[in-house]
Structure 1
Amino acid sequence: MQQLANQPEQAAIRIDLGAIFVSLELSRSNWLITSLSPGAGEKMSKHSLRGGDVAGLLRLFATLQEKTRARTGEWFRIIVIQEAGLDGFWIHRVLQAEAIESHVVDAASILVSRRRRRAKTDKIDGETLVRTLLAYKRGEPRVCSMVKPPSPEEEDRRRICRERKTLIAERVEHVNRIKGLLFAQGVGDYEPLRRDRRASLEDLRTGDGRALPFHLKAQIVRELDRLELILEQLQKVEAARDQLLLDRAEMNDLAPVVRLLQLKGVGAEFANVLWSEGLYRHFDNRRQLAAYAGLAPTPWKSGSIDSEQGVSKAGNPRLRGTMVQMAWLRLRHQPNSALSQWFKQRVECNGGRLRKSLIVALARKLLVALWQYATAGVVMEGAALKPA
């Protein structure tokens, strides 16, 4: 008993932190700052600031450092963590410019309670972020997944393909609305995307032989006005995309994109999305690449249970959707490639079933092959190139 009494009492967490650990819970109206400082024991301090008050945040950091120095007689650096969200990466860049170590974490990778009803408040989330940051700095493996923020240039470059995708969705919406309005009148052969859309609208007759009603025709004309505006913006976005690829190719800054364009079945849009959404990053192996695209498998194994839940869908949704589209198009444009032959053989072995599941597997293999081709020049087996 005497020996046990002489042993130092162990704290629940480390007191010799070596830094001030801070978490940011961000919203439009308020920022909740949770901190754990050396010399303050296990108690976490909480402060609230007005949303967007960067100057107040930096003053608070200075105050935390002064209080810690008064308690311990030493100066400690600040380490900050925040979740990736609607605020983007501008706060992270401000902190880095002030020589403050900053981390952005994927919120879905943080472990939470599995109770059916768990308490969730900004206070609890702030403390959870601090504990996650502590574990990450201790070197605990797979405690969370930190996001690699892109540079401002990389972030701005990928806006072109994202804006184009938004415009395409709006174009489909207007086209479907016009077709739906006319179909309710017995007209099913009108194509709003044709160049003679306004002239042909004047000649339309309803299913019972009447001219289009006045207000219906006026509504369709207004829909055509919005549709033509979207088509005009699409042309500008695509021209900016092509000019960007041309400029970078001349500067030899996007040689991997030019290499992708040499493949049959890969156009400017696919090449731009592949590079700006994923391949510009560094990946150590194919598993990291597949996980980033959300194409990694998610097994469920426990005791006698052994099943596959499908792909994780935890990565970049734009890259994942593009790869599935490219997988289907590869079967058409590259039918003799090794990957296309692999898909056909697997479908035949399953009696023509599971095509959708196998196309996702093909998308993963194709992404890895394109990554090796774009970054290292490894030509895919049986791949056909465009004529020079």
Structure 2
Amino acid sequence: MSADAVNDCYIALELSQRTWLVGFLLPGSEKVQTMAIAGGDADALLGAISRIEAKIEGDVWSEGLTCRMRVCFEAGYDGFWLARFLLDHGIDTTILDPSSFLVSRRGRRAKTDRIDVEAMAFTLKAYLLGDKSVCRPVRLPTPEEEDAKRLARERTQLKKERTRHVNRIRALLILHGVRSVPGLWGGRWRDALSNIRTGDGRELGRFLLRELCRQFERLDVVHAQLKTLEKERIEACSTEGSINSGQKIRILKQLSGIGEVGAAHLVAEVFHRTFRNRKHLASYLGLAPSPYASGEVSRDQARRETNRRASCLSNLRGVGSNTSHKAI
């Protein structure tokens, strides 16, 4: 433990949409002080940090001491841009994994933004002074790595949206005894709807027909966006040196059951990361067990989550076909 580390100022940020709560632990103090600024105002945050520095410099006892600003916040809603902003201004910044915090096991635990920011400031201090058990930091991805994930994630969202529209159309028609649904995959649905009859031989109702038309129009938009996204993916994969490198994808495709889309997804989400060992990799993918053993009781807490993530990984196999209509 260095003397410089002891004399650092530890600043925790509790980020929300409306306000950012800044909690700071001054050198030699055991009390976290707080101030609030407008949410999303990075310049106001720099001003707050400057005021904290001025406060430290104004203390008589701090003369001649080197004091660094050590900032932290939880990974979450605001993403990673704030960390890059602070690092660009020379401020040491750590992104913390909120799921790794040591939490009190009391049945009823008070929770406010002030309590959270105070606990985070002490957690940051303990971590930077050498206690690695109190929390885990989150690796800051490069802007290129973060942007590369958008192709696979947008595709997943579009396929979910397509499934919602298809299910809604089918549900509306089944309500009236219509089991066959033509035009779901880009066919001539307008002509098909004009010829559909209900289970008891009647034409579709006026408002039902209009609702179905609007649902099909939204479905057509999703189909068009998926085609555009597929062109962008092919273009990105053909560019060597990018995160979505075609070389990595070609290597993964040599494995049995891995398609081009699944390989691109793995490259964007997994293979730019660094894993210490195979256990670390299994933990990231949700494949590592989480045992609960106390006395004669022994069970695996993560069995359901492990099965779910394993199912998601298995769904990546063979999704290289662009003609499949099943949502990943």
Please tell me the TM-score bracket, short chain as reference. 0.7 to 0.9
Matching of residues 328-339 of structure 1 within 5 Å? none
Structure 2's unaligned 5+ residue stretches are 320-328
Aligned mates of 2:135, 2:240 — CA distance in 1: 35
Which one of the candidate residues 178, 188, 210 is aligned to 2:202? 210
Equivalent residue, structure 2, for 1:50:
38
Query: Residues 232, 295 of structure 1: CA spacing in aligned structure 2 closer, same or farther, 3 A cutoff?
Result: same
Equivalent residue, structure 1, for 2:136:
145
**1:287 Cα shift?**
1.0
Secondary structure class of the residue paired with 1:297: coil
Count of residue pairs brought into register by the alignment = 312
Per mean C-alpha deviation after superposition, the further-off stretch among 150-159 and 58-67 is: 58-67
Structure 1's unaligned 5+ residue stretches are 1-13, 331-388
Query: Residues 199, 265 of structure 1: CA spacing in aligned structure 2 closer, same or farther, 3 A cutoff?
Result: farther
Equivalent residue, structure 2, for 1:59:
47
CA contact (8 A) 2:145 2:243 kept: no
Aligned mates of 2:207, 2:262 — CA distance in 1: 41
**1:263 Cα shift?**
2.9
Q: Residue deviations 1:320-360, cap 9 Å, x none?
A: 66413247x69xxxxxxxxxxxxxxxxxxxxxxxxxxxxxx
Which one of the candidate residues 69, 76, 93 is aligned to 2:57? 69
Q: Residue deviations 1:67-120, cap 9 Å, x none?
A: 223321123111111001110011111111011110111111111211111100
Structure scoring higher RCO (CA < 8 A, sep ≥ 6) equals 2
**1:251 Cα shift?**
10
Secondary structure class of the residue paired with 1:158: helix
Q: Residue deviations 1:175-222, cap 9 Å, x none?
A: 111111111111101132252323222221111112222221121111
Which one of the candidate residues 12, 18, 34 is aligned to 1:29? 18
CA contact (8 A) 2:148 2:243 kept: no
Query: Residues 252, 220 of structure 1: CA spacing in aligned structure 2 closer, same or farther, 3 A cutoff?
Result: closer
Query: Residues 249, 22 of structure 1: CA spacing in aligned structure 2 closer, same or farther, 3 A cutoff?
Result: closer
Matched residue type, 2:289: P
Aligned mates of 2:262, 2:243 — CA distance in 1: 21
Matched residue type, 2:24: S
Q: Structure 1 residue 196 and structure 2 residue 188: aligned?
A: yes
Query: Residues 16, 95 of structure 1: CA spacing in aligned structure 2 closer, same or farther, 3 A cutoff?
Result: closer
Which one of the candidate residues 283, 291, 294 is aligned to 1:291? 283
Query: Residues 165, 253 of structure 1: CA spacing in aligned structure 2 closer, same or farther, 3 A cutoff?
Result: closer
Matching of residues 234-273 of structure 1 within 5 Å? 234-248=226-240, 253-273=245-265
Matched residue type, 2:54: E
Secondary structure class of the residue paired with 1:279: coil
Per mean C-alpha deviation after superposition, the further-off stretch among 137-146 and 148-157 is: 137-146
Aligned mates of 1:320, 1:162 — CA distance in 2: 18
The percent identity for this pair of structures is 37
Q: Residue deviations 1:29-88, cap 9 Å, x none?
A: 11111111114x212211111112222211221222222233211231111110011100
Secondary structure class of the residue paired with 2:21: strand
Equivalent residue, structure 2, for 1:384:
none
Aligned mates of 2:51, 2:216 — CA distance in 1: 59
Instruction: Give the RMSD, CA atoms, in angstroms.
Output: 2.5
Matching of residues 1-388 of structure 1 within 5 Å? 17-39=6-28, 41-71=29-59, 72-73=62-63, 74-191=65-182, 192-193=184-185, 195-248=187-240, 253-311=245-303, 313=305, 322-326=312-316
CA contact (8 A) 1:68 1:75 kept: no
Aligned mates of 2:286, 2:243 — CA distance in 1: 32
Secondary structure class of the residue paired with 1:207: coil
Matched residue type, 1:32: L
CA contact (8 A) 1:206 1:212 kept: yes
Rg larger for: 1
Aligned mates of 1:252, 1:15 — CA distance in 2: 42
Q: TM-score, normalised by structure 1?
A: 0.75
**1:126 Cα shift?**
0.5
Q: TM-score, normalised by structure 2?
A: 0.88
